[in-house]
Amino acid sequence: MKSLLNYIAIGILAMFAACSSDSDSVDLEKPTAIIQLEKEDGVYGPGHSIIINASFMDNEALKECQVSIASQRSLKGWDTDWDVEMHKINLSGTEMQLSATRVLEDIPTDIYYGDYQLSFKVLDEANNYNIYTIDITIQ
């Protein structure tokens, strides 16, 4: 009976050792970023481009950064003031730097003036993500 219990204990220990293998680990860590506007005051006018400097980091592998913009009016459920396609920035490696990178098309001349929010969704290869927002003003 004791030898049977020993075999069972050894079997259980072997299962735990196999489950803790690094080759089977799943990436659950979200990527991180530091994103700054080139214009420190965040005030833009029609015809201007939105340019950023950024650092992206991940423990395994970066994938992309999806950039979108919404007016504070549309975030509250009102009409959309500026319909912009989401801009994608391809990322790679575990660390990546961007300098003077244009992230959205030129601001249209017929846009509503007011407060807007830039949204940066940073994804890694495992599709973990973090969302960063920056408020800007168009006048």
pTM: 0.77
Burial of 111 (0-12, 13-18, 19+ CB in 10 A): middle
Query: 129: domain CATH number?
Result: 2.60.40.1930
Please, where are the H alpha helices in the chain?
A: 2-19, 72-75
pLDDT tens per residue, range 9-49: 565 655 555 554 455 689 999 999 999 999 999 999 988 99
Nearest to 135 by CA among 43, 3, 13: 43
pLDDT tens per residue, range 36-86: 999 999 999 988 999 999 999 999 999 999 999 888 665 555 555 556 677
- Provide the domain limits for residue 128: 31-138
Give the pLDDT band of residue 130 (cuts 50, 70, 90). very high
The count of domains in the chain is: 1
